[in-house]
Chains A and B, each alone.
Chain A
Amino acid sequence: MQAIIDCNSFYCSCERLFAPNLQNAPIVVLSNNDGCIVSRSDEAKKLGINMAAPYFQEAERIKKFGIHTFSSNYHLYGDLSWRVMETMRSLLPPGHVEVYSVDEAFVDLHHIANNDVYDFCIHLKNTIETWTGISVSIGAAPNKVLSKIANRLAKKNKIETNCVVVLDTTQKIQTALQKTPIEDVWGIGYQYSEKLKVYGINNAFALSMKDLSWGKKFLGGITGIKLIRELKGLKTHGMQAPRTEKKMIATTRMFGRNVSTWQEVEEALATYATRCCEKLRRQHGAAKCVQVFLLRKPTVNYNAEGHYHRGSQVSGFALLDNPSSLTPDIIKAAVAIGKTIFEQGEIYKKAGVILSDFVPDNALQTNLFVAPSDTRKKKLMNVIDNMNAAYRNDVLKFGSTGTKKNWKMRSEKRSKRFTTRWDELCKVQ
């Protein structure tokens, strides 16, 4: 059996852990820049607050019901995510936990007898909740696609199921499939679900009755075959080893306010380039390709049909003669690209720096005709990284990243970093 363990309203649960006055109160957490609602407590869901709704749309209702609002506190969520995953790892053999996202993980339960899976899931759930204070839902089934379906049912009926659903018989699997609308099947997006409904496939059960060849034809080849196989109860997706190295590193942020001067854009690009380089050096890579994009603010946020307008994007890229992970090299490249795409008089709302085309840093292939990067510079980077990690608040910065950073993201309602900063610990009376 495989299971997926998913934290319940993860960001809200994190906030609630250190908010003794909000134990049963409705709360929501906003995305970067306080733009959208990304997490809702059950109480907020009951009050009709929509997921992913822009904050300004729900602001009135939030005020009316006195719903507590938080800006994203990624330091806190990251730490608690690590605790949840670490708790699972300490209860399972090595390699049996596959972290799937910040708040979900697949776990391999093949070492547990089928009859004991339910009890073991309850034990996992209780231990995670006791140790970390984060409540979870668990769905267990013969494979990943079915475990996702089981998990959805556990979340939908928290009280009846005690947040654990195990699909261990053909009968249970069939019933679960019938209860699952087609758009809620893992891997079926909005477009595919519309297409499938045309063929009269409205729930997961109907799809599971289709032949594999049908899946190959209508559901994107091999992926479709795998999906239908798993819906039929056969195992295909194995556990995946964690990706330790990324193929692409991006830092993209919304600006906290409208930005129209080159100086501010330059500061932002330099800051994002610095962040990218830190991540890149952590995986001991060097990048060949630097990409930069700027997102213009649209003149109207919604078009005539009421669809949201993202704004038009301008971008450019450069290939470095020498792959590099040195912050000054990448800043220089990013700023140069930015200069070519920046237009005076435009208003920008977002910018991003993306690094790709990585080579290992220890065996840098240098171009015969270009001087290789100085190893002294690499040592300097190492010292900067270590000092910033030890003192935490970026004590050493590059001048081009600016000092005031007026363009920085809004996070006005962020709670304290209770688990990662000595000076922000929770107070007890």
Chain B
Amino acid sequence: MKILNILANIANKFSFMEYIDMDPSEGIATQQINKNYQSNQIVQANATGFGAASDDFMERGIDLNEQLIQNKPATFFFRVNSDAMLGAGIHIGDTLIVDRSVPPRTGKVVVAILNGEFLVRRLQMQTHSITLLPENKKYGAIHIEHLQDYKTWGVVTYVIHGL
């Protein structure tokens, strides 16, 4: 009986959700999660007859995407696998939000490709070279003269760190 109850709860939780419409084989992936949630609430509030005043102020709940993702087609996620940027608050296991549409400038934390590896470091641009600065005394700065071996992949805009 207990299992049935749990299943019923899960079913309830999901029955109002418009499922994620995603079919990569068709080339287009559109994500619509929880689209119905908001309209459901409003319909229920109206159904009480004399509308509560707060109905006029009903709005969408806070959505982390609005804060963390400025440009969706250009935003990617990475998993941190080193403590080189500890001083910038970037820990092993954290999630990096990387926006490729943000121009890389001196002082920005970037994800870069160097010698066949993804690195996260603070970027310092000189006229003919680039320096990647760590924020952890265990690591040294990387000075790059041969820019053909180097590529800035994207600018880190946020780090998600669990406590």
Chain A residues in the interface with B (C-beta under 8 A): 20-23, 74-79, 81-87, 90, 99, 101-102, 130-133, 279, 282, 379, 382-383, 385-390, 418-420, 422, 425-429
- From residue B147, how far is it (CB to closest CB) to chain A in Å? 13
Chain B residues 58-89 with CB under 8 Å of chain A are 71-74, 76-82, 84
Q: Check if A79 sits within 8 Å of B29, measured CB to CB.
A: yes
CB-CB under 8 A from A74, the residues of chain B are: 24-25
Q: SS class of chain B's interface: helix, strand, loop or mixed?
A: mixed
Task: Select which of A76, A87, A279 is within 8 A of B73 by beta carbon.
Answer: A87
Q: Check if B22 sits within 8 Å of A383, measured CB to CB.
A: no
Q: List 21 A-B contacts (CB under 8 A).
A: A20-B116, A20-B117, A21-B116, A78-B29, A79-B24, A79-B29, A82-B73, A83-B74, A84-B73, A85-B28, A90-B73, A99-B28, A102-B27, A130-B101, A132-B100, A133-B100, A385-B19, A388-B19, A390-B14, A427-B79, A428-B118
In chain B, what residue has the closest Cβ to A73? B24
A418 to B101, CA, bound (A): 19
Q: Check if B28 sits within 8 Å of A82, measured CB to CB.
A: yes
Chain B residues 101-149 with CB under 8 Å of chain A are 101, 111, 113, 116-120
CB of B23 closer than 8 Å to a CB of A = yes
A78 to B118, CA, bound (A): 23
Q: Check if A383 sits within 8 Å of B25, measured CB to CB.
A: no
Q: Check if B73 sits within 8 Å of A83, measured CB to CB.
A: yes
Task: Select which of A20, A130, A385, A386 is within 8 A of B113 by beta carbon.
Answer: A20
Q: Check if B19 sits within 8 Å of A386, measured CB to CB.
A: yes
Q: How large is the interface on B (under 10, 10 to 19, 20 to 34, 35 or more residues)?
A: 35 or more
Task: Select which of A21, A78, A387 is within 8 A of B27 by beta carbon.
Answer: A78
| A427-B78, A428-B82 known; A383-B24 Cβ under 8 A | no
CB of B30 closer than 8 Å to a CB of A = yes
CB of B11 closer than 8 Å to a CB of A = yes
CB of B17 closer than 8 Å to a CB of A = yes
A87 to B26, CA, bound (A): 18
A387 to B11, CA, bound (A): 8
Task: Select which of A23, A102, A386 is within 8 A of B17 by beta carbon.
Answer: A386
Q: Check if B78 sits within 8 Å of A425, measured CB to CB.
A: yes
Minimum-distance CB pairs A-B, first 9: A78-B24, A21-B116, A389-B19, A131-B74, A102-B27, A386-B14, A83-B73, A86-B73, A425-B79
Chain B residues in the interface with A (C-beta under 8 A): 10-11, 14-15, 17-30, 71-74, 76-82, 84, 95-96, 100-101, 111, 113, 116-120, 151, 153
In chain A, what residue has the closest Cβ to B98? A428
CB-CB under 8 A from A382, the residues of chain B are: 15
CB-CB under 8 A from B27, the residues of chain A are: 78, 81-82, 99, 101-102
Q: Check if A427 sits within 8 Å of B81, measured CB to CB.
A: yes
Task: Select which of A20, A85, A420, A426 is within 8 A of B79 by beta carbon.
Answer: A426
Q: Check if B17 sits within 8 Å of A390, measured CB to CB.
A: yes
Q: Check if B117 sits within 8 Å of A429, measured CB to CB.
A: yes
CB-CB under 8 A from B20, the residues of chain A are: 389-390
Q: Check if A386 sits within 8 Å of B15, measured CB to CB.
A: yes
- From residue A254, how far is it (CB to closest CB) to chain B in Å? 14
- From residue B36, how far is it (CB to closest CB) to chain A in Å? 10
A386 to B25, CA, bound (A): 19
A356 to B129, CA, bound (A): 61
- From residue B160, how far is it (CB to closest CB) to chain A in Å? 11
Q: Check if A387 sits within 8 Å of B96, measured CB to CB.
A: no
- From residue B6, how far is it (CB to closest CB) to chain A in Å? 13
| A78-B24, A81-B27 known; A425-B95 Cβ under 8 A | yes
Task: Select which of A77, A90, A282, A379 is within 8 A of B21 by beta carbon.
Answer: A282
A23 to B81, CA, bound (A): 21
| A82-B30, A82-B73, A425-B78 known; A282-B23 Cβ under 8 A | yes
Q: Check if A78 sits within 8 Å of B119, measured CB to CB.
A: no
Q: Check if B73 sits within 8 Å of A383, measured CB to CB.
A: no
A74 to B79, CA, bound (A): 22
CB-CB under 8 A from A385, the residues of chain B are: 19
